[in-house]
């Protein structure tokens, strides 16, 4: 009996040890897949590739970044929501992830309850640009013009972070504006430079060459603080418009029920990667600002952002509900 009890104890102990290892002690033991639900080439695609290249080196394991665009990012996000919660399938997405419930009817997943928030990567400040031919040199002059007539602005889709950035500023400053849809930043910037639309809240990387060449005038940046690549351009907050800043960010999520030890390990490795000089230099050149939060704080942040965007979508008249 004593031998049998010892054998049973050994089997149970081995089983528990194996389960513990499967939950994170031996993770990662195979390649990790990171799904970006957008097309290649955007900052939301480039930033995760830079960061996860370093994370792969730190973990000693391959990390494959896979683009899966379509349906405003919902196809790729749903693939992660329904994946096994084992830490081997992750989602790298912009703040469009938590805007979606407010602007897309019948979303096939819940961005909070179907995911575990892992870590933020960066904040992407946008710069509000105008053609020199418009003879508008400050954001205050733009607002004054917008109170006389509807300002036309470039948008890459209703409810996109770019669109929400402009709506946040417009509602704060109290002027009229009309969204003009484009496929992406290149097309919108051309239309601003030619004067066919008034302004565009552009990703800094896309607008920077034209600003340096004098083809675009930067009026303000959307972030709460100034940007190192455009140190002389004020924020909208500095310009006197309360509650006008908008955070356009990129973060990493895992399927819900991913073991907390794996989530916390991923968070630590991502934060470590963001502090590597070679990584931070590459990100600075993109005009983005690294973000640092624990997984628990990022989860709270995502919930706060969800509420903010729901209110914003309703106020802007673009809510799906």
Domains defined for the chain, CATH in brackets:
22-123+249-315 (3.40.190.150), 126-221 (3.40.190.10)
Judged against a pLDDT cut of 50, whether residue 12 lies above it is answered with no
pTM of the model: 0.85
Taking alpha carbons only, the member of 277, 224, 271 closest to residue 252 is 271
pLDDT value of residue 140: 97
Q: What is the pLDDT of residues 225-247, one digit of tens each?
A: 999 889 999 999 999 999 999 99
Which DSSP string do the residues of 57-89 spell out, in sequence order? HHHTS-EEEEE---GGGHHHHHHHHTS-SSSSE
Q: What is the pLDDT of residues 129-141, one digit of tens each?
A: 999 999 999 999 9
pLDDT value of residue 24: 45
Judged against a pLDDT cut of 90, whether residue 211 lies above it is answered with yes
pLDDT value of residue 321: 76
What are the start-end ranges of the H helices in the chain?
2-20, 43-59, 74-81, 96-103, 139-146, 161-173, 185-193, 204-212, 260-274, 277-285, 295-315
61, 69 in Cβ contact below 8 A? no
Judged against a pLDDT cut of 80, whether residue 62 lies above it is answered with yes
Average pLDDT, stretch 283-296?
A: 91
What is the distance between the alpha carbons of residues 263 and 293, in angstroms, rounded to a whole number? Answer: 13
Q: What is the pLDDT of residues 244-261, one digit of tens each?
A: 999 999 999 999 999 999
Taking alpha carbons only, the member of 158, 213, 226, 162 closest to residue 188 is 162
Judged against a pLDDT cut of 50, whether residue 20 lies above it is answered with no
Confidence band (pLDDT; 50, 70, 90) for 294?
very high
């Amino acid at each position: 009996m004593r031998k049998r009890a010892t054998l049973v104890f050994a089997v149970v102990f081995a089983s528990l040890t194996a389960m513990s290892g499967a939950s994170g002690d031996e993770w990662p033991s195979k390649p990790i897949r990171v799904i970006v639900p957008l097309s290649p080439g955007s900052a939301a695609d480039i930033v995760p590739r830079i960061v996860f290249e370093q994370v792969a080196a730190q973990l000693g394991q391959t990390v494959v970044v896979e683009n899966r665009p379509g349906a405003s990012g919902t196809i790729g996000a749903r693939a992660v929501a329904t994946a096994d919660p084992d830490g081997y399938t992750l989602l790298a997405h912009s703040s469009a992830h938590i805007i979606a419930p407010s602007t897309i009817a019948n979303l096939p997943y819940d961005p909070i309850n179907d995911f575990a928030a892992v870590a933020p990567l960066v904040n992407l400040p946008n710069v509000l640009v105008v053609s020199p031919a418009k003879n508008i040199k400050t954001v205050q002059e733009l607002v004054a013009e917008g109170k006389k007539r509807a300002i036309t602005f470039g948008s890459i889709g209703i409810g996109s972070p770019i669109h929400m950035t402009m709506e946040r500023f417009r509602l704060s400053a109290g002027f009229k504006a009309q969204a003009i849809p484009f496929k992406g930043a290149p097309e919108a910037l051309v239309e601003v430079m030619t004067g066919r639309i008034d302004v565009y809240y552009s990703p800094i990387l896309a607008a920077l060459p034209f600003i340096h060449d004098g083809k675009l005038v930067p009026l303000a940046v959307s972030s709460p603080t100034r940007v190192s690549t455009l140190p002389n351009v004020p924020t909208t907050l500095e310009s006197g418009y309360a509650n006008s800043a908008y955070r356009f960010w990129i973060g990493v999520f895992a399927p819900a029920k991913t073991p907390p030890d794996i989530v916390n390990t991923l968070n630590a490795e991502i934060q470590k990667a963001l502090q590597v000089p070679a990584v931070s230099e590459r990100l600075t050149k993109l005009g983005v600002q690294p973000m640092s939060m624990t997984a628990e704080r990022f989860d709270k942040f995502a919930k706060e952002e969800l509420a903010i965007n729901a209110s914003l979508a309703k106020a802007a008249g673009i809510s799906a509900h």
